[in-house]
Amino acid sequence: MEDKKATLVVHSGDFDKIMSAFILGNGFLSMGFSVTIFFTFWGLNALKIKGFNKAPLSRMNFFGLGRYIIKKKMKKYNVASLNDLAVNLKKLGGKIIACTMTMELMGIREEDLRTDLVDEYGTVGKYCYESKDADVALFI
């Protein structure tokens, strides 16, 4: 598999969707894909300092699985935390873009974000450009 590429848009700020995004990103990286993730709208909140700790579940009380119970189970079953997943994604060469339009709309400054995770700040045009030769593109 040569030159395969996956680009993800993360619009949702839900804990479980952010988790899916990072798990998929790491999965594609492990298979030799290059991976770019564009964080926009609620998704950008996850990249704030302590953002991973504040992300809500998309089905908060559903099936009795609250955020803390899920985190506890993740630990028990050796599922990596959001932070571990994000750090691993970066180690494997994944690229993270923060949406500048969202930053303006929500009043988020560069210093509010995890600069150890964000590679670039850009508009949707940057995402579209990254996706022009993508083999897999997902909206999360």
Applying CB under 8 A, which residues contact a copy of itself? 1, 4, 9, 11-13, 16-17, 19-20, 23-24, 26-28, 30-31, 33, 40-42, 45, 56, 58-59, 62-63, 65, 70, 73-74, 77, 79, 101, 104-106, 123-125, 127-129, 131-132, 134-140
Residue 26: closest CA among 12, 13, 37: 37
Instruction: Report the alpha-carbon distance of residue 93 to residue 100 in Å, rounded.
Output: 22
User: What are residue 96's phi and psi, to 5 degrees?
Assistant: -120, 125
Nearest distance, CB of residue 115 and a copy of itself, angstroms:
21
Nearest distance, CB of residue 132 and a copy of itself, angstroms:
6
Nearest distance, CB of residue 119 and a copy of itself, angstroms:
19
The per-residue DSSP string of 66-101 comes to -HHHHHHHHHHTTPPPHHHHHHHHHHTT-EEEEEHH
Q: Of 11 and 114, which CB lies nearer to a copy of itself in the complex structure?
A: 11
